[in-house]
Amino acid sequence: MEPTLGQYLMVSGALFAIGLLGVIVRRNLLIIYMSLELMLNAANVALVAMSRFNGNLDGQVMVFFIITVAAAEVAVGLALIVALYRKRQTAEVADLATMKL
């Protein structure tokens, strides 16, 4: 039996929720970053599913752009993390509290 659009959207929602949970709960910068990637991918699944079931390729073109921008974003973000690590010798958000009042 062919899966329905609702099932695909459910998978996408579950992936997004797990990614959001990771961003909220985890304290390691790199894992927070991986969770962000997870959320981007959840959005991609939803877009491709919608594109498929609406008979229109625009959603897939959108996903193409999202993947490109995500790749650029990962490169910049990881460079920021490395620069931060060089300055502070840590990748835990709990230790990065200099701006706290």
Positions in 17-36 near other proteins (CB under 8 A): 17-22, 24-28, 30-31, 33-35
Helix then strand count (H, E) for the chain reads: 3, 0
Q: Indicate whether 43 belongs to the interface with other proteins (CB under 8 A).
A: no
Query: Smallest distance, Å, CB 46 to other proteins?
Result: 10
Q: Indicate whether 96 belongs to the interface with other proteins (CB under 8 A).
A: no
Q: Indicate whether 83 belongs to the interface with other proteins (CB under 8 A).
A: yes
For residues 64 and 101, is the Cβ–Cβ distance under 8 A?
A: no
How many C-beta neighbours within 10 Å does residue 64 have? 13
- Cα separation, 30 vs 49, in Å, equals 29
Q: Closer to other proteins at the Cβ: 67 or 99?
A: 67
Q: Indicate whether 99 belongs to the interface with other proteins (CB under 8 A).
A: no
